């Protein structure tokens, strides 16, 4: 009995560690807020100002939902979405300029499923671990194509609600937020809504991030966590990240700027380590 209890404790500890290391992208984490509402609002406005100063119609922004020490090597951000310049209606009925955020969010009550949800910068930043974001401002021509896809039926059609936090970008068995962003980018570049074509071009041109976790931990996670899947990977898992998307756009000269912004530091160029 004692040995069984010890074994169960070990499994629980490994499971908990895996749950921390591979964080999904729910809309609200449900954990205690790390920042006051005025800090969230102020930083959200700062990001909007950064984008407006660059006349960005569409940008790609990544947020931090976990301490860096709890994330696998190479993964800096836990959620990535499109920020789109819009005319936004206030509760009083006034139309004001600002950014709407287009997300793929994992369901908090059904973690192996996702939804496309449009919210706003304050919603996007709610519950973050750190007031720091990565920002990709695409080239104007790509912004125009992204806007066309996001505002069309193609945007919804490219969504697969079957969710995995470590989804392979090379196939459409599952999706996570960054794979969905990559799908929209490639659909925009190649002017296609054909998923087979999108996945073929991603396989040819895009290098994802390897998940640095032991096979034991991955297998255990896939057994006990509904949002960890391995059957879409041939061997070692690879997934799209904010950093790998930034690297691809930079390499193909499709990004005007790639930045890091925080609440208490000057804007800096984004560096992929």
pLDDT tens-digit readout, 115-146: 999 999 999 999 899 999 999 999 999 999 99
Q: Which domain holds residue 187?
A: 2-269
Q: Report whether 133 contacts 81 (CB < 8 A).
A: no
Query: How much is the pLDDT for 269?
Result: 82
CB within 8 A of 11, min separation 6: which ones?
Answer: 220
Query: How much is the pLDDT for 204?
Result: 97
pLDDT tens-digit readout, 86-116: 998 888 888 999 999 999 999 989 999 999 9
Number of H helices, E strands in the chain: 9, 9
Q: Report whether 33 contacts 127 (CB < 8 A).
A: yes
Nearest to 71 by CA among 212, 271, 235, 227: 212
pLDDT tens-digit readout, 11-46: 444 444 444 345 557 776 556 678 999 999 999 999
Query: How much is the pLDDT for 62?
Result: 98
Q: Beta-carbon neighbour count of residue 34 at 10 Å?
A: 13
Question: In this model, does residue 4 exceed pLDDT 70?
Answer: no
Query: How much is the pLDDT for 229?
Result: 76
* Sign of the torsion angle spanned by Cα atoms 170, 171, 176, 180: positive
Domain count, the chain: 1
pLDDT, greater one: 256 or 211: 256
Using only C-alpha atoms, the chain has a radius of gyration, in whole angstroms, of 19
**Could you give phi then psi for residue 23, rounded to 5 degrees?**
-85, 135
pLDDT tens-digit readout, 140-173: 999 999 999 999 999 999 999 999 989 999 999 9
Stated pTM of the model: 0.88
DSSP 161-211: -BB-TT--TTSSSSB-HHHHHHHHHHHHHHT---HHHHHHHHHHH---EE-
Calculate what percentage of the chain has a pLDDT beyond 90: 65
């Amino acid at each position: 009995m004692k040995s069984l209890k010890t074994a169960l404790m070990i499994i629980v500890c490994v499971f908990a560690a895996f749950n921390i290391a591979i964080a999904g992208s729910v809309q609200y984490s449900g954990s205690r807020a790390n920042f006051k509402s005025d800090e969230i609002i102020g930083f959200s406005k700062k990001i909007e100002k950064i984008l407006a100063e660059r006349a960005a119609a569409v940008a790609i922004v990544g947020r931090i939902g976990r301490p860096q020490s709890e994330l696998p090597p190479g993964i800096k951000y836990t959620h990535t979405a499109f920020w789109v310049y819009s005319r936004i209606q206030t509760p009083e009925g006034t139309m004001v300029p600002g950014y709407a955020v287009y997300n793929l969010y994992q369901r908090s009550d059904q973690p192996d499923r996702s939804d496309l949800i449009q919210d706003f910068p304050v919603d996007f930043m709610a519950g973050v671990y750190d007031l720091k974001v990565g920002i990709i401002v695409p080239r104007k021509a790509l912004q125009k194509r992204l806007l066309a896809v996001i505002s069309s039926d193609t945007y919804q059609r490219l969504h697969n609600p079957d969710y995995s936090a470590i989804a392979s970008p090379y196939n459409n068995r599952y999706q996570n937020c960054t794979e969905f962003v990559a799908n929209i980018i490639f659909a925009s570049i190649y002017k296609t809504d054909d998923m087979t074509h999108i996945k073929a071009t991603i396989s040819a041109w895009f290098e994802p991030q390897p998940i640095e976790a032991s096979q034991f931990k991955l297998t255990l996670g896939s057994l006990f966590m509904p949002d960890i899947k391995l059957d879409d990977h041939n061997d070692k898992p690879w997934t799209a990240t904010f950093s790998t998307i930034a690297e691809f756009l930079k390499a193909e000269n499709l990004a005007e700027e790639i930045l890091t912004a925080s609440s208490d530091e000057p804007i800096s160029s984004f560096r992929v380590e």
